[in-house]
Structure 1
Amino acid sequence: MALTIKKPSDTEFPVSYLPYVSQVPENKEVLDILEQQVTELQQLLATIDDARAEEAYAEGKWTIKELVQHMIDSERVFAYRALCFARGEQASLPGFDENLYAENSMANDRQLKDILDEYELVRKSNLCLFRSFETAVLDNVGTANNKHITLRGLIYVIAGHERHHLNILKERYLKQ
């Protein structure tokens, strides 16, 4: 039976994640959205060459490669948290400094195609993980970065974080 994940209530995640969760449509299954985002990102960046992917839209902002690597890194962190919470972990998990991760990612030394391949593999792997969950564990609550969040909330944060960065790519990086 296919897993259905209802949208989390506002009490299931820190308020700082509301901008992400609010970007996930309520009338679509979040796992389907996560799957569709792979194609959306690949199509969005299909005509971008490596030189263009190493440009930022403003001084001090990440390049396209760094932004996509940030999406991968963030998803890995959130998915690890999801795994921990699904398995009943009670320890508080650490936060992460996304700017430090981007600075040390070496994304601009890589081919965009390789980064996109990595992105697709990470997402597909996480979809397999999420689809393995029983409905009951979606209510599991864990602590990450000293804040409580449900497993359901984490999955929605991943989808909303992705939507947020897809919008930034469209509006700031690839604006014609």
Structure 2
Amino acid sequence: MSDIWTVRPGAGEHAPYFGRYIDLVPDGDLLERLRGQVVSTVQLLAPLREEQANYRYAEGKWSVKEVLGHMIDTERIFSYRVLRIARNDATPLPGFEQDDYVKYGPHARQPWPELVEEFQVVRSATLCLLRGLDGEALSRTGTASDHPASARALAWMTAGHELAHMAVFHERYSAVLV
């Protein structure tokens, strides 16, 4: 385990809102956490049938497919931000409207097995990116969504974002989980 992956981001490395995601991540090696998450998430979601993946717990709420699609899109955006900041690109990075990404994204129409595979591939790409970073790159700070953000904080936010949505799956979508 490399010590750089156990250093939790400080409050000045991210917008206060994102502290809620970082706080969900247990102490330990972040890369190991991210590798383990993809396994547990796929074990939970892959067995769902298409009709289960289309389940919404209430009118107007995202389907299981849309939640997973949101997780995929968000991880891609966080990873892109990690890349830009780690490479010392000082260009401010804009925010994104998650509801528009779900509304205009293809996830609700995609076959469920393909969406699960996409999640795995995106996580694999995230891990490849992160493995190549050293402590200096992780400590670099840029601007994302009008707030300071370090590459390290974005990596931890990736893990915490997944944990937050896994809790939602267990709380709100338990009727269809196998």
TM bin, normalised by shorter chain, reads: over 0.9
Contact 1:21 1:156 in 2 (8 A): yes
Runs of 4 or more consecutive aligned structure 1 residues displaced over 4 Å after TM superposition: none
User: 2:4, 2:134 within 8 Å by CA — same for their partners in 1?
Assistant: no
1:128 aligns with 2:128: yes
Give the Cα separation in 2 of the matches to 1:106 and 1:95: 20
Deviation at 1:4, TM superposition (A): 2.9
Distance in 2 of aligned mates of 1:148 and 1:175 = 39
Q: Which residue number in structure 1 is paired with residue 8 of structure 2? A: 7
Q: SS at the partner of 1:4?
A: helix
| Secondary structure of the corresponding residue to residue 58 of structure 1 | coil
Who is 2:92 aligned against?
92
CA contact (8 A) 1:78 1:158 kept: yes
Corresponding position of 1:153:
153
The question of 1:165 aligning with 2:127 is answered no
Listed as ranges, the matches of 1:26-175 within 5 Å are: 26=27, 28-175=28-175
- Mapped contact 1:3–1:131 kept (Cα < 8 A): no
- How many residues align? The count is 175
1:96 maps to a residue whose letter is F
Aligned-pair CA distance for 1:16 = 0.4
For 1:130 and 1:9, the matched residues in 2 are separated by 19
Task: Give the TM-score of the pair, scaled to structure 1.
Answer: 0.95
> How far apart are the structure 2 equivalents of 1:133 and 1:102?
30
TM-score by length of structure 2 reads 0.94
CA distance, structure 1, for counterparts of residue 90 and residue 46 of structure 2: 42
Aligned equivalents of 1:47, 1:128: Cα separation in 2: 26
| Cα pair 1:142 1:148 within 8 Å, conserved | yes
Is contact 1:3–1:134 with CA below 8 Å preserved after alignment?
no
* Alignment correspondent of 2:19: 18
CA distance in 1, matches of 2:108, 2:70: 12
CA displacement 1:93-118 (0-9 Å, x = unmatched)? 11100000000112121111100101
Q: CA deviation at 1:2?
A: 4.4
State the identity as a percent.
35
Structure 2 unaligned segments of length 5 or more: list them.
none
Q: Within 2, Cα distance between the matches of 1:67 and 1:46?
A: 14
Q: Name the CA distance, whole Å, in 2 between partners of 1:118 and 1:3.
A: 30
**SS of residue in 2 equivalent to 1:116:** helix
